Amino acid sequence: MIEIFSSSIGKKLIMSITGLFLMLFLLVHLTVNMLLLVGDGEVFNRAASFMATNPAIKIIEPLLAIGFVFHIFYATIITLKNRRTRPVGYSTTSSNGLSTWSSKNMYILGGTILIFLVIHLANFFWKLKFGTVEPITYGNETMANTYALVSGLFISYWWYDVLYVIGAIFLGLHLSHGFWAAFQTLGWNGTKWLKRLETIAYVYAAIIGTGFSIIPLYFLLFK
């Protein structure tokens, strides 16, 4: 059973499962982040605090890290192997009208997203976890003022806004292929579902891509 993961399909299965897990995370992440656009930040700070202290999240957090590591590690293995399958390349290639750019450049998109992820973690996660973030008190509850951290960054440095928008677009492109491909690899696809899943993938990618773009733009333009 376990040797399934040594086969080509098995390795893709890992990509699919970790990918789906990460996509679920992204949806939760975006939902919480959208609270940044609500009011003066109290709602967001409360949500962030809940996420930081909830024991379930404590368990999921390392899983998420493992998910990322496996997703990246196996992507590298698969890409390296696939590179060896055509020692002599073609001199000319042209479009077939069906393959999307994203589908052919998932590793490059993924690599770019990884760079963005590192910056992103340094900006927020690292500071929240190990640095000092100003506390704020609502009534008798004191918590980290995550809102100030985020808004501070996005209001003061316009190039971070640009960077985050670019990151979100790349993520959207990655997901526009990754979403339906994950189901395809799992075997959940048929002639009818192929079309449906593709549509859902585009909707999902658009939500994630624009959702994460709106936040920096909101702070840049309206604050």
Partner 1 sequence: MKVKLRIWRQKNSQSKGKFEVYELNDVAPDMSFLEMLDSLNQRLVKEGKSPVAFDHDCREGICGSCGIYINGRPHGNDHRTTTCELRMRRFKDGETITVEPWRAAAFPVVKDLVVDRSAFDKIIQAGGYISVNAGAAQDANSIPVPKHNADVAFDTASCIGCGACVAACKNASAMLFVAAKITHLAQFPQGRVEAPERVKRMVAKMDELGFGSCTNTRACEAECPKGISISTIAKLNREYITAKLKD
41 or 178, CB closer to partner 1? 178
| Residue 75, burial from CB neighbour count under 10 angstroms (0-12, 13-18, 19+) | buried
Residue 174 makes contact with partner 1 by CB under 8 A: no
Tokens of 99: 């393959």
The distance of closest approach from Cβ of residue 175 to partner 1 in the complex, given in angstroms and rounded to an integer, is: 13
129 or 195, CB closer to partner 1? 195
The answer to whether the beta carbons of residues 171 and 113 sit under 8 Å apart is: yes
In Å, how far from its chain's centre is CA 185?
19
Which phi and psi (to 5°) does residue 143 adopt?
-150, 170
The distance of closest approach from Cβ of residue 128 to partner 1 in the complex, given in angstroms and rounded to an integer, is: 35
The answer to whether the beta carbons of residues 21 and 190 sit under 8 Å apart is: no
Size of the site for partner 1 (CB under 8 A): 45
For residue 125, what is the DSSP state?
I
85 or 137, CB closer to partner 1? 85
- Which residues, numbered 77-106, are part of the site for partner 1 (CB under 8 A)? 78, 81-82, 84-94, 96-100, 103-104, 106
Residues within the interface to partner 1 (CB under 8 A): 1, 4, 7-13, 78, 81-82, 84-94, 96-100, 103-104, 106, 177, 180-181, 183-191, 193-194
